[in-house]
């Protein structure tokens, strides 16, 4: 068994890595971008201030966000340092003329043009020498040189460190890049610049480049280019943070980390996942015993029919129905205790003044409706599955032998049948451990519970990559651990099962 556990634990990080890789590629290849503020149609539509953002792949407000989280890098392989001078010239011509090439005179759509602009802006810091070559060449058209300066400034713009706690070195670095950004933004070539002003700005850019090229690795050797090819990518940038347990910050607030926000919601989704899981396991076993013992008779048919109806009712119908009925009833049956229809507990001004026992009762009263909405579907499915497993065990020879020896019904059911039939249910429930971090979006939304389900749904809507990836990582980890726990449980329930 020890060898099996060691093998599984060694395979765990490899499996998680593969799951993360697949999810990361799918998320990053999905249409759109977390910094896109308006949808651009193929024919026209949204317009932006070209002079301000043409080299910046997004609005200035979100450029730092994209840089910090590696969204300006290729996904898996970075071949931008190998870009040729001719390719740079052609891209600049495309952006100026809004045509793919001389051979293809058809104008680019707004969406295609925006895609070229964004990609070339992200690529700029890897082609700084080529851009400078165009800027310094008097033979190049002035419009091309002005465009090259814009992308040169874009490539020279470095991301600042963000977060609630910065070191002195990080603050000093932020001050330096802020100073550089102000300096470089003043060197943009304008149509009304005189030749003397143009030469002065180009000289300033050339001087800045010479002073910073070594520090920023603008002219990498071949070995450095190969390193960039494999490791200067979105995926490597993200995995580098994951290895240090840094899951990033929220898209809309860099002072809030993903881990801290998840921790705040942990008790809500954990409660709504674990407690219904345990109750479902116990109830489905008891109902399965009753259905199996009365197979083919009215208790079996009645329960089967009732469970089939429960299984067929979608949760978005059942949850509003429970809320509506609770509003009509006002109080729990035979009591004067009101039925809560929202929240995890009472408001803070009431909850904070309660005793521990009152708080427990208050929380349980708030959880009755949400847990009912979560449990009924899984209870119906698991009970029917458990019924089949119990019937199969009851037909085994050792059960007949136990009956023949006069073993009491309770002994047969709980000592023999329950342990063996429980293996099937454990297998089914094991994969559900991953939903602890998924929560139930519909239940949490309708009952106004601030759990993981709504949190991750909002992250998908807002294209918050950090939260989405953490959801995939945590859910996959819990699912894999669930299957490992299930394997160990098999050996406890059935001594015939070994992990050797």
Statement to judge: residues 238 and 325 lie in one domain: no
Residues 6+ apart with CB under 8 A from 449: 268, 272, 343, 344, 370, 443
Mean pLDDT of 38-59: 42
Residues 6+ apart with CB under 8 A from 86: none
Tell me the average pLDDT of the chain: 82
Higher pLDDT, 48 or 65: 65
Instruction: Among 185, 215, 242, give the residue marking a domain's end.
Output: 242
Instruction: Among 194, 210, 242, give the residue marking a domain's end.
Output: 242
Statement to judge: residues 230 and 300 lie in one domain: no
Statement to judge: residues 75 and 114 lie in one domain: yes
**CATH number of the domain bearing residue 324:** 1.10.3720.10
Single out the residue of 320, 325, 314 nearest to residue 445, CA to CA. Answer: 320
Statement to judge: residues 217 and 321 lie in one domain: no
Q: Which domain holds residue 419?
A: 258-493
Instruction: Among 191, 213, 242, give the residue marking a domain's end.
Output: 242
Q: Give the span between the Cα atoms of 197 and 176, in whole angstroms.
A: 25
**Residue 139 domain-assigned (yes or no):** yes
3-class SS at 316? helix
Statement to judge: residues 206 and 332 lie in one domain: no
Q: Give the span between the Cα atoms of 407 and 410, in whole angstroms.
A: 8
In this predicted structure, the answer to whether residue 45 has a pLDDT above a threshold of 50 is: no
Indicate yes or no: pTM above 0.85. Answer: no
**Residue 19 domain-assigned (yes or no):** no
Q: Give how many domains the chain has, as a whole number.
A: 2
**Residue 248 domain-assigned (yes or no):** no
Q: In this predicted model, what pLDDT tens digit does every residue of 346-380 receive, in sequence order?
A: 888 888 888 888 888 888 888 888 888 888 888 88
Statement to judge: residues 377 and 280 lie in one domain: yes
Statement to judge: residues 213 and 362 lie in one domain: no
Statement to judge: residues 148 and 46 lie in one domain: yes
Mean pLDDT of 377-403: 85
Distance of CA 93 to the CA centre of its chain: 38
CA angle 258, 260, 265 (to 5 degrees): 95
Residues 6+ apart with CB under 8 A from 457: 441
Q: Give the span between the Cα atoms of 451 and 456, in whole angstroms.
A: 9
Statement to judge: residues 286 and 154 lie in one domain: no
**Residue 500 domain-assigned (yes or no):** no
Statement to judge: residues 389 and 275 lie in one domain: yes
């Amino acid at each position: 068994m020890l060898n099996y556990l060691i093998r599984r634990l060694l395979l765990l990080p490899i499996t998680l890595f593969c799951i993360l890789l697949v999810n990361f590629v799918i998320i990053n290849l999905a249409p759109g971008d977390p910094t896109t503020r308006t949808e651009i149609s193929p024919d026209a539509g949204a317009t932006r201030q070209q002079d301000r953002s043409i080299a910046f792949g997004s609005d200035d407000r979100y450029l730092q966000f994209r840089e910090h989280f590696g969204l300006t890098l290729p996904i898996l392989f970075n071949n931008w340092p190998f870009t040729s001078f001719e390719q740079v010239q052609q891209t600049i011509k495309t952006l100026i003329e809004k045509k793919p090439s001389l051979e293809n005179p058809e104008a680019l759509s707004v969406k295609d043009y925006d895609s070229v602009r964004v990609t070339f802006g992200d690529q700029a810091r890897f082609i700084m020498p080529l851009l400078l070559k165009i800027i310094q060449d008097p033979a190049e058209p002035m419009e091309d040189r002005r465009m090259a300066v814009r992308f040169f400034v874009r490539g020279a713009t470095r991301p600042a460190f963000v977060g609630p706690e910065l070191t002195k070195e990080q603050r000093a670095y932020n001050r330096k890049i802020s100073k550089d950004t102000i300096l470089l933004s003043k060197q943009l070539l304008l149509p009304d610049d005189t030749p003397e002003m143009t030469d002065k700005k180009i000289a300033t850019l050339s001087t800045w480049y010479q002073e910073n090229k070594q520090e920023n690795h603008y002219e990498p050797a071949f070995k450095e280019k190969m390193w960039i090819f494999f490791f200067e990518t979105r995926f490597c940038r993200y995995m580098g943070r994951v290895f240090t347990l840094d899951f990033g910050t929220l898209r809309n607030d860099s002072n809030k980390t993903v881990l801290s926000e998840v921790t705040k919601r942990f008790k809500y989704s954990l409660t709504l996942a674990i407690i219904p899981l345990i109750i479902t396991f116990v109830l489905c076993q008891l109902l399965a015993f009753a259905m199996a013992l009365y197979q083919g008779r009215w208790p079996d048919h009645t329960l089967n029919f009732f469970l089939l109806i429960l299984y067929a009712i979608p949760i978005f119908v059942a949850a509003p129905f429970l809320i509506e009925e609770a509003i009509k009833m006002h109080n729990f049956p035979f009591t004067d205790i009101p039925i809560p229809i929202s929240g995890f507990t009472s408001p803070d001004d009431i909850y904070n003044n309660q005793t521990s026992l009152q708080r427990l009762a208050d929380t349980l009263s708030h959880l009755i409706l949400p847990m009912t909405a979560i449990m009924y579907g899984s209870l119906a499915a698991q009970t029917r599955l458990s019924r089949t497993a119990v019937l199969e065990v009851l037909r085994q020879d050792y059960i007949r032998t136990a009956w023949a020896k006069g073993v009491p019904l309770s002994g047969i059911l709980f000592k023999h049948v329950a342990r063996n039939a429980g293996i099937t249910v454990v297998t089914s429930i094991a994969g559900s451990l991953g939903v602890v971090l998924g929560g139930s979006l519909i239940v949490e939304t309708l009952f106004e519970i601030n759990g993981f389900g709504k949190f991750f749904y909002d992250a998908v809507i807002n294209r918050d990559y950090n939260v989405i990836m953490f959801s995939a990582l945590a859910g996959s980890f819990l699912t894999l651990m669930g299957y490992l726990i299930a394997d160990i449980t098999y050996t406890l329930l059935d001594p015939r099962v070994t992990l050797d």
